Amino acid sequence: MEIWKFQRVVLQRLVIWAGMSIVLGLAFLLFRHEYWNGMAIQFIAWAVVNLAIAFFGKRGLERRWSSLKPNERAAQAATEKNKLVRTLWINTVLDAFYIIGGRLVMIFLGKDSPLWQGMGLGIILQGSFLFFFDLIHARLAANIAIR
């Protein structure tokens, strides 16, 4: 698979995860408890951010792709690949910090608050998914052959 198509696939998968997060967040609201409300807030908020990332990522990708002449696209592919791999590795590290941050929220803010307990766990779950999402895609992108 070429890097241009791979980037589109990654962004489409991020949109799917965002959609699932919205559905889960709305489902959590049905429990009508502070703990689940905290989870709902996090799932819906992360979904909005992920949708924005996917939207602007797709716009940037389309802009870069369309600005290149067909004979320039292959030459630009290595740069695109390096940029994507670097971004995914940076995101993987950030995701690990989100997981730690979620745990800290649970420990300090959630000590006496079910809402903050739920928010902390929501951060951990979202950060964990994105950690593996970014890690897997960084490794896959690094192995794409540039032709």
* This model's pTM is above 0.85: yes
> Computed over its alpha carbons, how large is the radius of gyration of the chain?
18
> How far apart, in Å, are the Cα atoms of 45 and each of 64, 90, 119?
29, 21, 11
Helix (H, G, I), strand (E, B) or coil at 101: helix
* Per-residue confidence in pLDDT tens, the chain, 147 aa: 699 999 999 999 999 999 999 999 999 999 999 999 999 999 999 999 999 999 999 999 999 989 988 888 888 999 999 999 999 999 999 999 999 999 999 999 999 999 999 999 999 999 999 999 999 999 999 999 987
- CA diameter of the chain: 61
- Cα-Cα end-to-end distance for the chain: 10
